[in-house]
Chain A
């Protein structure tokens, strides 16, 4: 059962580290510019 092997758990760790390094608004690699964030917010149409 490959997916329950130690290798797959190691891949889960890597996946989570990748998720943790994904662009966040306001930090890391993503925009820290409020105007850009809000333009995106205004385009969303949550009912």
Chain B
């Protein structure tokens, strides 16, 4: 039975879907004003693996990941660039989809945008006002009245009296209470706005997700996910809005992935240790980044450091070296390995433990190859590929992965092939010194030549 750590209850729980055999999951997606960074990559990959595993487990999953395409940061960035907010967001939505695809992240079933969900947002705000949970301020904004929602703080464990005493909550004179948060912002000059019963304006961030999630998945659904930084206030406010508007429980299981640190420090623009995914992908293959993310449990901090990425690359090289040259078409029931892999994933999506099982399979595969047991090697390789797909790894061509990219200054594939042929010719002419010299030349350029009965193969080290 699948166990999920539910941050609403602070404990692992057996997953029981609302509707047998079906799962409805919503994940807070990107605010599209810049390229995705490593923190975004973690959210994309973690919930992609959760979605893949739910489907692999036989559930009919509806996965919704929204796009926030209007907010202050978007408006400010578009203004800085001298372009429309729509041009900016269209560009970064496309970039996000490219980055996600590169990481092997499958598209969600639905990808609603805030700007195309205005009717649903306005309907929910109207419901909140009608039920007495929201009010219009004298500045034209509409606010949520936190004091009316008795269970506020259930997700974050925060108590309203402590929040009121805190310094982080700014006082806005239009609010009845400093804890109240904005649902609808009155239009400011030169800002995009939409018509509403309270005048032109745009939605607050929190109400967007409440409206989009319930519109796509219904008032009560199974799983809501996102980064741990969203647990408060964003997800806390989502619960307050949705449950007040609909009168029923919003979500059964809340899943939050941990943070990304850079060299054991928090990642922030002010510290200058901020990497976009595209920058990282110039050095490391996307699959290496995906492996690096999955080698940590999703609730552990993920420490971004070059040595950890290098380690991820080596680990994938070991997998692909074992897979190279083996027919992986046969998938048997997988026996004990598959059972242990599933047990690891059933334990709150424990991907490092699942990877440990895949390494054990790789050891057995290497042994089968050494013993020239082709049938066993083929069955193990088939299962390795099959289980790899469940977490979105090991689907590439082994030879291509191991050969890697030449890089800006590296020796090209064609140059390597030419040198390899020269070495073969030298060996056939029994010019062993020349053959060794060519091998050493290639090694000096990071190309490893491996000789076997089947001939010479190479890979970039």
> Which A residues have a C-beta under 8 Å from some C-beta of B?
3-4, 6, 8-10, 12-13, 15-17, 19-20, 22-27, 32-35, 37-38, 40-47
- Please state if A12 and B359 are interface contacts (CB–CB under 8 Å): yes
Stretch at the interface among B4-12, B58-66, B132-140, B325-333: B4-12
Q: Is the CB of A38 within 8 A of B158?
A: yes
Chain A at the B interface: mostly helix, strand, loop or mixed? helix
Q: Smallest CB–CB gap between A41 and chain B, Å?
A: 5
Are A38 and B231 within 8 A (Cβ)?
A: yes
User: Which residues of B are found within 8 Å of A20, using beta-carbon distances?
Assistant: 297, 344, 350, 352-353, 356
Query: Which stretch of B243-251, B266-274, B277-285, B432-440 is in the interface?
Result: B266-274
Flag if B229 contacts A12 (CB, 8 Å).
no
- CB <8 Å contact, B352 and A41: no
Decide if A38 touches B156 in the complex (CB within 8 Å): yes
Q: Assess whether A34 is in contact with B259, with CB atoms less than 8 Å apart.
A: no
Whose C-beta in chain A lies nearest to the C-beta of B162? A35
Choose from A4, A6, A24 the contact partner of B321 (Cβ within 8 Å): A4
* Chain A, Cβ-Cβ closest to B363: A9
Q: For the complex, what is the distance from the CA of A30 to the CA of B298, rounded to whole Å?
A: 14
**Given A3-B314, A3-B318, A17-B352, A37 and B228 contact (CB-CB distance below 8 Å):** yes
* Chain B residue, CB-CB nearest to A3: B314
In the complex, chain A residues whose CB is within 8 Å of the CB of B318: 3-4, 8-9, 12
Other A-B pairs beyond A44-B267, A46-B229, 15, CB < 8 Å: A9-B359, A9-B362, A12-B318, A12-B355, A15-B311, A22-B296, A22-B300, A24-B299, A24-B300, A34-B156, A38-B231, A40-B259, A43-B266, A47-B34, A47-B269
